[in-house]
Amino acid sequence: MLDIKFIKENVELVKENIRKKFQEEKLPLVDRVLKLDEQWRKLKFEEDKLRSERNKISKRINELKKSGKKADKELKEAKAIPVKISKLEEKRRRLEKEIREVLMKIPNIIHESVPIGKDDSENVEIEKIGKPVIPDYEILHHAELAERLGGLDLDSARETSGHGFYYLIDKLAVLHSAMLSFARDYMISKGFQYVIPPFMIRGKVVEGVMSFEEMDAMMYKIEGEDLYLIGTSEHSMIGRFINKIIKSKDLPITLTSYSPCFRKEVGAHGIEEKGLYRLHQFEKQEMIVICDPEDSYKWYDKMLNYTVDVFRQLDIPVRKLEICSGDLADLKTKSADVEGWSPRQKKYFELGSCSNLTDAQARRLNIKIDNGREKYFAHTLNNTVLASPRALIALLENNQQRDGSIKVPKVLWKYTGFKEIRIKENGKK
């Protein structure tokens, strides 16, 4: 959410930013919020004027009483003023709510380095890490392979829960958890504090951490309660600091969290009939940073590289993909995906994303820094360390051997207790 003062001082910049995001339908919002702000200021001026008048009349009444004179006229006037102020206050509060709603729809200012593009087809590759290999033998679809390994039951999940859910079983379930445990321990080794957050959050937090469009497409609401299932633990992690003032000496705040994640996945992609790529439920190790504005882009680079290193140690080739302006969510000023290599599809696919939201979330949630001289809004960043089963797909494809068995990366051995998963034959592994 942009500061109204910034919009007033940079009207054309804000409009040009909207054009760069190919959201021309939002251009009228800028003029609308400026008009609403002008109305708000007039009401505020009238309120202040009435309060000043009330103070003068009160002073006059005291003077008249001291001199033994009547103050009937002044008392009548003094009695009428609070009613007028109350009506103006009510109008002003309605305006404030409307102004906030409009401000929350105006996108954050994108970083100058963000490539201009209309949609995800114009995202830009930054760097490849690890050599993408296409074996000379068939790489099975991950769902078929997982079933042959005796580790996946989609049919039963459809009976119990519907499409977009799964049962992971036996060694494959252990491998899935091992990846998350490795990601957790990796982030702890980088100095991040481990947290298990609430898996449900209130509406005011949801509105603070994401755009309305994302909210409608992603979040599951608990019927009859002001609670939503989290789509990512970033939401409850950032929400923890709502209305808090953080001492600058306590920065940066670096946290890593585990959680299940729940998503509607409403939109063009939809839920897969067969597979584990796009689901209503998955698990994730996340990282967030709350820092001073001058440090946020340094942290952005660090965080992105942490995720790349996690997948490098899992023997999964990846690439960094810079998100273009038209594909960038409204609260984000800069974002990059980490994509994993799929030898079966002979292309990369998304494993997670790193984002700098500057002060957009902090302004919505009222998260401020106190440096002893002034208070100002913090910058917030988030990044996926590892999300599974999506990461599990990458591991299965890149570590599948000729006979269909899966070679477990060395860094996971201490978590799994085994080095390989073999195809089941006649009910035996």
Ranges of the chain with pLDDT below 50: 426-429
CA dist., res. 116 & res. 416, Å (int): 44
Judged on CB neighbours under 10 Å (0-12, 13-18, 19+), 380 is: buried
- Per the CB < 8 A criterion, the answer to whether 34 and 11 are in contact is yes
| 161 and 286 part of one domain | yes
Provide the pLDDT for residue 426.
Answer: 47
What is the domain range of residue 68? 4-103
On whether residue 329 sits in a domain, the answer given is: yes
| 34 and 165 part of one domain | no
On whether residue 370 sits in a domain, the answer given is: yes
| 34 and 149 part of one domain | no
Tell me which residue of 185, 187, 188 sits closest to 305, measured CA to CA. 187
Enter the DSSP assignment of 400.
B
| 21 and 166 part of one domain | no
| 183 and 313 part of one domain | yes
| 181 and 311 part of one domain | yes
On whether residue 109 sits in a domain, the answer given is: no
| 125 and 77 part of one domain | no
| 302 and 186 part of one domain | yes
| 125 and 51 part of one domain | no
CA dist., res. 21 & res. 18, Å (int): 5
| 380 and 265 part of one domain | yes
CA dist., res. 168 & res. 393, Å (int): 12
On whether residue 8 sits in a domain, the answer given is: yes
Task: List the CATH number of the domain containing 26.
Answer: 1.10.287.40
* 103, 131, 159 - which closes a domain: 103
On whether residue 111 sits in a domain, the answer given is: no
Task: List the CATH number of the domain containing 166.
Answer: 3.30.930.10
Provide the pLDDT for residue 286.
Answer: 98
On whether residue 115 sits in a domain, the answer given is: no
On whether residue 131 sits in a domain, the answer given is: yes
Provide the pLDDT for residue 427.
Answer: 42
* 103, 136, 152 - which closes a domain: 103
Contacts 24+ apart (CB under 8 A), 165-173: 165/279, 165/280, 165/281, 166/276, 166/279, 166/281, 166/389, 168/389, 171/416, 171/418, 171/421, 171/429, 172/146, 172/392, 172/421
Provide the pLDDT for residue 267.
Answer: 56
* Total domains in the fold of the chain: 2
pLDDT tens profile 236-261: 999 999 999 999 999 999 999 999 99
| 153 and 287 part of one domain | yes
